[in-house]
Amino acid sequence: MFPVTDLTTLDKRHLWHPFTPMQPWCAADHVPLMLVEGSACALKDQFGNEYLDGNASIWTNIHGHNHPVINAAITEQLGKVAHTSFLGFTHEPAIRLAKELVDLVPGDKLTRAFFTDNGSTAIESAVRMALQYWKQNGRPQRDTLVAFDRAYHGDTLGAASLGGIPLFKGSGNDFGYRVITVPSLDALDLLTVDDRSRIAAVVIEPLIQGAAGMRLWPQGMLKALDAWCATQDVFLILDEVMTGFGRTGRMFACEHESVVPDFLCLAKGLTGGYLPLAVTLTSERVFEGFLGEPHEGRTFFYGHSYAGSQLGCAAALASLRIFREERVLEQLSAKIARLGELMADLPAFRQCGMIAAMTVDSPDLSLGAKVCLAARNHGLLTRPIGNTLVLMPPLCVTLEEIERMVAALRAALNEVTAPQ
């Protein structure tokens, strides 16, 4: 075992953390927070301090840390085999998980599950499928995707090309797919006939845009977008990487407006926040568009080494079991209501189920980060989006823990914004 001070030195010498300004991180006086233990909604650092996990470990954790059902499922699977290739092979956990996932979606439109590693690759899969489908099924001119302003769909090259936030596109923004970015649903009707004829799919985060600062879409917008896509015979891709698995109060956000897309992209909470796993659910129509003899070249040549991970599928099956046995969704209404009551008077407050956010209007663009840093002293971990402060706890959070989280956020906000 390395002493904590040695680990900190080694971190600064060898690691490069994502979405993290590394110069201040590596400064001599900076002590990184090292998370070493977790239970339910609580996490402990290297000094034994305990915190409430206010952002569900970057929006992934669903049932809390160290849940015995998921722990047991992973342990049982480890006793059999940890990983086998999914390219030309199969296994029981993936078969069972695919069946359970398609059964969760209302109706019978989505019938096929394509497993990958993370949210970006779930989106990549959907986009590639959509483009290849039209190319080899009589409409090769459909080479364009429609995405929305301020959208975020991941960091891989294709997913990033759909994004509407330049900061997340790196040094260059002109790459990837041919994309038309629109600000709203109404803007679709302003597209030229030629543009509309070239659209392969429309991609959207339903109900709420995450990285845009928890920006809510108008009620009914998703339903209207679904109707527009149907009229144009355009595929609808829903990015439910953040909103899936109970975050909005239902299993999937699209259920709020009775929409079933052509592609449903899921990750983050799929395994309860335990292991990397993603899935792209799609229809029999799309699947059949790839059928043919090998020499015809209609195969979907895309995949990842850990696609359909046996351990990940075992964790995901256990997570779905918890939803059923602990009646997770049925218990959310009281928690959603309490979260809203406690935060309603905070500036620019908005809420979508168990996702709550507020924004501080300040010229200091680092104010949000300062508030989150101060919140640690009050036992809360969360991460800002600019000056937007977010609470998105694991769904197992208690009413008392919600109260403590909001109290900690308020205390930190008051400390940072108090006149000097």
pLDDT tens digit string along 52-62? Answer: 999 999 999 99
CB atoms within 10 A of CB 95: 13
Number of H helices, E strands in the chain: 14, 16
Residue 172, pLDDT above cutoff 60: no
Tell me the C-alpha distance between 261 and 81, whole Å.
35
Options 3.40.640.10, 3.40.50.720, 3.30.360.10, 3.50.50.60; CATH for 71-325 is: 3.40.640.10
For residue 5, the model assigns a pLDDT of: 78
pLDDT at 24 over 90: yes
Q: Quickly state the pLDDT bin for 335 (edges 50, 70, 90).
A: very high
Range 348-356 average pLDDT: 98
Spell out the residues 6+ positions from residue 272 whose beta carbon is closer than 8 angstroms to its own: 61, 62, 63, 67, 70, 315, 316, 318, 319, 322
What is the reported pLDDT for 266? 98
Is 185's pLDDT higher than 60?
Answer: yes
Cα–Cα distance, 387 to 273 (Å, whole number): 26
Nearest CA-CA partner of 225 in 215, 234, 214, 216: 234
Query: Mean pLDDT across the stretch 318-322?
Result: 98
Smallest CA-to-CA distance from 182 within 214, 125, 144 is with: 144
CA distances 213 to 59, 322, 336, 386, Å, are 14, 30, 19, 8
Give the pLDDT of residue 91.
98
Q: What is the mean pLDDT of residues 361-365?
A: 93
Kind and range of the H or E run holding 145: strand 144-148
First to last CA, the chain: 44
CA distance 297 to 295: 5
Per-residue DSSP letter, 35: E
Please tell me the distance from the alpha carbon of residue 270 to that of residue 25, in angstroms, as a whole number.
31
Q: Where are the domains of the chain?
A: 33-62+329-417, 71-325
Helices (H), 143-283: 157-161, 193-197, 221-232
406: region left, alpha or beta (phi > 0 left; psi from -120 to 50 alpha): alpha
Q: Is 140 exposed, middle or buried (0-12, 13-18, 19+ CB in 10 A)?
A: exposed
Contact 204, 82 (CB under 8 A): no
Contact (Cβ atoms closer than 8 angstroms) between residue 204 and residue 151: yes
DSSP 8-state symbol, 80:
T
pLDDT bin (cut points 50, 70, 90) of residue 164 is confident
Strands of 46-118, DSSP E: 50-53, 110-116
By C-alpha distance, which of 403, 341, 401, 353 is closest to 64? Answer: 401
Instruction: List, for residues 211-248, the tens digit of each pLDDT value.
Output: 999 999 999 999 999 999 999 999 999 999 999 999 99
Nearest by Cα to 239 from 283, 284, 209: 209
Length of the chain: 420
At residue 166, does pLDDT exceed 80? no
In this model, does residue 170 exceed pLDDT 70?
no
Reported pTM: 0.96
Residue 175 pLDDT more than 90? no
Average pLDDT, stretch 347-356? Answer: 98
CATH no., domain 33-62+329-417: 3.90.1150.10
Tell me the β-bridge partners of 151: none
Residue type (1 letter), 393:
P
CA separation, residue 126 to residues 3, 143, 201, 261, 390 (Å): 45, 14, 9, 11, 28
What amino acid is encoded at 322 in this protein? I
Gap between the Cα atoms of 340 and 352, Å rounded: 9
Q: What share of the chain is helix, strand, coil (3-state, %, to 5)?
A: 40, 15, 45
Structural element, H or E, at residue 406: helix 399-417
Q: How far apart are CA 34 and CA 11, in angstroms?
A: 10
For 135-150, the pLDDT digits (tens) are 999 999 999 999 999 9
- State what percent of residues in the chain have pLDDT above 90: 94
* DSSP character string of 285-341: HHHHTT-S-GGG--S-----TTTT-HHHHHHHHHHHHHHHHTTTGGGHHHHHHHHHH
- Mean pLDDT score of the chain, rounded to an integer? 96
State the DSSP H helix or E strand holding residue 78, giving kind and residue range, or none if neither.
helix 68-78
